[in-house]
Amino acid sequence: MNTKLLSPKDLFATEDFAEVLSPMVEPADEAASTEIQKQLIELGFISERPTTLIKLEVLLSSFLMQSSRLHSRSERKGEPMVIGIPHDEVYWRRRSKVGYKVAKRLCDALLTNGWITLYKEAKINLFDGDSNCTGYLVADDVPRLSNGLKFQSTDLVYASSSSATKKKLEVEHVDDRVRFLWAKWKTTPLTHGAQTMFIAPRRFNDLNQTRGGRFYGAWTNMRKVERLECTIQGKPVGEVDVSGMHLTLLCSITGEIPFTTRFKDAYECGYQNRDHVKPIINETIGAGTPRHYTRGGLTKKAGLSQEQFTYIRKNFIAPKFKCLQHLEKGKLDGLSLMFHESEIMMRVVEQSKLPIFILHDCLICQQGEELDVGKMMQDVYSDYCKEQGWTPVAPAFSIERKGGEKHLVSGRRHP
């Protein structure tokens, strides 16, 4: 059964699997590599070619790391440890050097040895493309197998890929920029416990590399509470999160600027509950049309009735945000805005001497540097708008640290 994989392609669908097997990490030292090889022998991989062994090590390491995260989620929420495993050759071919054959062999071995059991047939997962993704229940004793093992990002993944092709995406100038960031991140990696992270592929949704383009790595699928436990060069991190990046971009592109001289919340429109306004606007942008009249996944999750949705949209959102009238599916929508967001965030990292990691519309940096990073983001955003011929503004942003209150930093209508 073919299923659509959740991604920028389907921004507001509900994720069915918290983890989907993907090549993310590899053993970080000889001890971890030796242990992973022992586990592969236990699974039946007795005599393998060196290149195949490396691929198996990466995929088993990733499976164990993701199983450990599922175990933490299970203890926290009481959910079963279900991992999604895609069974489509295209999924594996266009993302990494691991390949479909190795992935299938490992999945079969995990099943045969009881490490996983079939739980549910193909469902939506959180990566992009079309594939068969089946849910498997991870055995209770599997997560502990990663205890004490050190993992790091693997470079077997391709720098960029696109859901618009079934083949490896080969665009030299795009790959060179991504690999430049990887090299920079590797010198000052993001660390969480025994895991060292510095690689995140860039995923597009078209062949021209102008739609989508976000980065997806080990840290982008972590819970915020875990991300805020990370360190960079031994120093704790903070997050700089842009307020309403896509909405702000849409305002700049259309020239319909609703903000006052200084503003702290891009979504402010006179309605008292921001948690109701934000999902309506983001659903509308994701739909790519101002004629978004019925509730979608985000607004239902926010607990909005159809009557509330219509009332807020008609009386508060539509009068304030004229920019939404310019939405056009395939031309000016969530995926096109996502590309510009990604380009802006990349330029911040490229131009800065500080260690900064990209998390969609958020930047992760060392504590004490958040305000400088946020102001740099504002400058880069303004320069990017001028370069594109749009109306520049300085986006509002927030700063958040582990255990601390969120600090709001004003944006400016005239940067």
Question: Domain segments of the chain: what residues?
Answer: 3-157, 223-415
Contacts of 183 (CB under 8 A, 6+ apart): none
Tokens of 385: 């708008």
Per-residue pLDDT of the chain (415 residues; tens, 9 = 90+): 233 233 333 332 234 688 999 999 999 999 999 999 999 999 999 999 999 999 999 999 999 999 999 999 999 999 999 999 988 888 898 889 999 999 999 999 999 999 999 998 764 444 444 446 889 999 999 999 999 999 999 999 999 999 888 888 777 888 999 999 999 999 999 999 999 999 999 999 999 999 999 999 999 989 999 999 999 999 999 999 999 999 999 999 999 999 989 999 999 999 999 999 999 999 999 999 999 999 999 999 999 999 999 999 999 999 999 999 999 999 999 999 999 999 999 999 999 999 999 999 999 999 999 999 999 999 999 999 999 999 999 999 999 999 999 999 999 998 7
The model's pTM: 0.89
The DSSP symbol for 18 reads S
3-state secondary structure of 408: strand
CA gap 344, 381 in Å, rounded = 6
245-263 per-residue burial string, b: 16 or more CB within 10 A, e: under 16: bbbbbbbbbbebbbbeeeb
